[in-house]
Structure 1
Amino acid sequence: MRILVCVKRVPAVGSRINVTGDAQQVDTAHLGFTTSPHEECATEEAAQIVEQLDGDDHAVVVLTLGPDESTEQLRYAASVGGTEFALVIAEGGLDWDPQRTAVAITSAVRELEAVDGQFDLILFGNESADGGNFQVGIRVAHALGRPIVNGIKGIDVGERGFTARRETDAGYEVYELDAPCALGVKEGINLPRYPTMKGRLASRKAQIQMLECAQDAAAGGQSRIRLHRPPERASTTVTLGDSAAAAPAVVDLLDELGVL
């Protein structure tokens, strides 16, 4: 079985976030980074699935899109169960929109599958911890022509595919998906393991495949929209009276305004 996990490099929890001068991007000059929590759980879930299967012909491939520094997140994945790693080089740091990100990841998945065969399961975080757009996994699955369910809190391997559970107010929704398919995992599906010393040492030797970003993902951008306050309207004060005798006038006014 081959499982692909797509992860994202995001600012560490508790970091003070500043924006650039044009207010279009996050200023990353003094930030620490980590793996988005939902995707950290997705990596752990993939590792657990593979560990439960017999034989050695299984792989947990971890893919990320970002700058060269994103290899830090891939090496962390190597220390907690990842077996193969790929980095899609993306200029411009973290602030790619979901459309461009999905195009680049889709192209990378097709490139990886052309060499080693189709992934049985692609795991995404339900949403990234920084942008929270909820779009990338759905866009990639749609482009690849594969079913996807988001908000997953449980995964079981079946004969033909996977059974996924999504938590609701009334209990769980259960979905049966034939492989190949994709799932969006929520934090809480498991408790991610801490990397061991052996794992950390092994992660230094992990081979990371560098992939070119798809050309059609290069277009796009952001624009700033300002909302201007409408001009203030002059208010008018009307005195209806200062005693109980004003009550009929108040009733008439409320009736005229349609309140009564």
Structure 2
Amino acid sequence: MRIVTFVKYVPDAAGDRSFEADNTVDRETDGLLSELDEYAIEEALALTDKDKGSETIALTVGPADAKDAVRKALQMGADKGVHVNDDAISGADAAGTAKILAAAVQKVEQDEGPVDLIITGLSSTDGQMSVVPVMVAELLGRPAATQGSSLEVTDSTATIRRDGDTASEYVEVTLPALVSVTDQINEPRYPSFKGIMKAKKKPVAQYGLSDLGLDASAGGAGAWTQITQLEQAPGRTAGEIVTDEGDGGQKLVDWLASKKLV
């Protein structure tokens, strides 16, 4: 079985996010592998661990630093990596990203052989749109099962359990297929020292848009959506300090009442 898992390099949520002159996110700042993608990687590795003839390929789309997302996946245990990097990709929206990812999967199949299963995270931690997986599945003409909190795979099918507020349902799709998984499905492994060292020797294919049979219209130039204006989030203001002079409790109640909280 050959499994492709999408991995995304996202800005560090703990840092200060900045933007380019065209209102797109500055992706050259400090970043890391999107946390939700780690669950997809772990699920792919769990499947390939059971079948020594299988392999996991980590695929990313992004600037030069996006290779760090692939590197983390390789350190965790993925066998190979694919990095699509092209200046024309900057500003791509969900539809463009899906088009590039679908073309990259087809390139993997051309170079490596059929891809039986694509596993993705629930969403990226920066965009949080959750629409790219089903877009990719549609472009590839494959069934999709999304938001899986468990996954069972046979030679011909993949079955997920999707948990709702009051009930769970099972969705079965025929391979080749795409599934997305939630952060409830597993506990991602930490890269071992051995895994970190082995990752340095694992192959990472590098492609531009032309290598995938695409042109600049797949990137920002052909985006369906555009950011026209943005504002910096307001900074935190100092809170109100109440000095307790024996009436602190009453002052607290008065403050809560003024906010209609009691």
TM-score (norm 2): 0.79
**Structure 1: which amino acid aligns with 2:222?**
G
Aligned residue number for residue 41 of structure 2: 43
| Mapped partners of 1:71, 1:212: distance in 2 | 14
Unaligned stretches of 5+ residues in structure 2: 231-262
1:199-218 mapped onto 2 (5 Å cutoff): 199-213=195-209, 214-215=214-215, 216-218=217-219
1:9-48 mapped onto 2 (5 Å cutoff): 9-22=9-22, 24-28=23-27, 31-48=29-46
**Structure 2: which amino acid aligns with 1:48?**
A
Q: Report whether the alignment pairs 1:220 with 2:222.
A: yes
Unaligned stretches of 5+ residues in structure 1: 227-260
Q: Deviations over 1:48-72 (max 9, x none)?
A: 111123xx32110110001121111
Larger strand percent: 1
Q: What is the CA-CA distance between 1:19 and the residue it aligns to?
A: 2.8
Q: What is the CA-CA distance between 1:37 and the residue it aligns to?
A: 1.6
**Structure 2: which amino acid aligns with 1:45?**
E
| Mapped partners of 1:28, 1:176: distance in 2 | 37
Q: Report whether the alignment pairs 1:194 with 2:198.
A: no
Distance 1:93-1:145 versus aligned 2 partners, 3 A rule: closer
| Mapped partners of 2:84, 2:218: distance in 1 | 11
Q: What is the CA-CA distance between 1:47 and the residue it aligns to?
A: 0.2
Aligned residue number for residue 71 of structure 2: 75
| Mapped partners of 1:118, 1:130: distance in 2 | 31
Aligned residue number for residue 159 of structure 2: 163
Q: What is the CA-CA distance between 1:164 and the residue it aligns to?
A: 0.8
Q: What is the CA-CA distance between 1:13 and the residue it aligns to?
A: 3.0
Distance 1:225-1:11 versus aligned 2 partners, 3 A rule: closer
Q: Based on CA coordinates, which of the two structures has the bigger radius of gyration?
A: 1
SS at match of 1:127: coil
| Mapped partners of 2:67, 2:103: distance in 1 | 19
Q: Report whether the alignment pairs 1:3 with 2:7.
A: no
1:1-260 mapped onto 2 (5 Å cutoff): 1-22=1-22, 24-28=23-27, 31-53=29-51, 56-91=52-87, 95-213=91-209, 214-215=214-215, 216-218=217-219, 219-221=221-223, 222-224=226-228
| Mapped partners of 1:130, 1:92: distance in 2 | 20
SS at match of 1:115: helix
**Structure 1: which amino acid aligns with 2:8?**
K
SS at match of 1:165: strand
RMSD of aligned Cα (Å): 1.9
Q: What is the CA-CA distance between 1:41 and the residue it aligns to?
A: 0.7
Asked if the contact 1:10/1:94 (under 8 Å) is kept, the reply is: no
**Structure 2: which amino acid aligns with 1:26?**
V
Q: What is the CA-CA distance between 1:159 and the residue it aligns to?
A: 4.0
Percent sequence identity over aligned pairs = 30
Q: Deviations over 1:183-218 (max 9, x none)?
A: 111122111111111111111222110112221414
Aligned residues: 222
| Mapped partners of 2:106, 2:155: distance in 1 | 25
Asked if the contact 2:8/2:61 (under 8 Å) is kept, the reply is: yes
